[in-house]
Amino acid sequence: MSPTTTPPTDPIDAQALCAGYLQAINAQLSAIQNGQSGALGEAAARLADQIAADRLVHIFGPGGHSNLATQELFFRAGGLMHIAAILDEGTLLSNGALRSMAIERTPGYGRVVIADRGLGADDLLVLVNAYGINAALIDAALEARQRGVALIGVSSRAHAQGTAPDHPARHPTGHNLHDLVDIHIDTDVPIGDAVVSVPGLGENVAAISTFANAFALNCLSIRTIALLVERGIEPPVWRSGNAPGGDQANARFLDRFRHRVRGL
């Protein structure tokens, strides 16, 4: 039997709830735009240096929906061709949601993923996770640090700091992502992620982290491209294959990246 709720005394204005959700999204994105300008600028300079040297920028979002952030930058219309996504099968929701959650909570797993990529001192890795605490994420950061990889983190400091030290998702060390990276971009996603309260329902609905991650990463991409253009460098950028001339535009660069970027 489905759980029951207490019916509200008045009809629920779903349109108003959606309007409130839009306001919450706008406020969240504005906070990133205004509050993280310095971190975004510093991170963009790191990416620009890497791309100017014709090196790849690796991105990993270990966690069910955090994988969406990785996919947002990879092989994406208007995105940088130097982005190499780490889309590990273990935490992809397409292989089972509960399995994904179990894998992201497994100590040691993230180390295996980074080691498999063979990252080293000349590499740059962007780690993205809405909450910044899970074991796979922390192990990925620790392994990368040991290998001398430069690290940029995108996560919510408030969520990490507000999560109990003994939460089952945490790494055994209790580390937070923002303490392990060279540059941290704070998305400030609230604990619980969902931000809309429906009258008569005990749980909030409508998560906000996917918007926050996508906006932060696209701002990072914009700033990186702007820096490169200022230096007189025209970085290879993907054009949608569904746009006129898309296949032809992309074909000019495919040989340059096909055997360097796993997944192309």
Tell the residue number behind the tokens 């970085």, with chain if given. 235
What is the reported pTM? 0.92
Report whether 163 contacts 170 (CB < 8 A): yes
Q: Are 210 and 65 in contact (CB under 8 A)?
A: yes
CA gap 49, 101 in Å, rounded: 35
Domain limits, the chain: 27-251
The per-residue pLDDT for range 47-95, each reduced to its tens digit, is 999 999 999 999 999 988 888 888 999 999 999 999 999 998 888 888 8
Structure tokens at 103: 């894998």
Question: Do residues 176 and 208 touch, judged by C-beta distance below 8 A?
Answer: no
CATH code for 27-251? Answer: 3.40.50.10490
pLDDT in tens, 158-203: 999 998 899 988 999 999 999 999 999 999 999 999 999 999 999 9
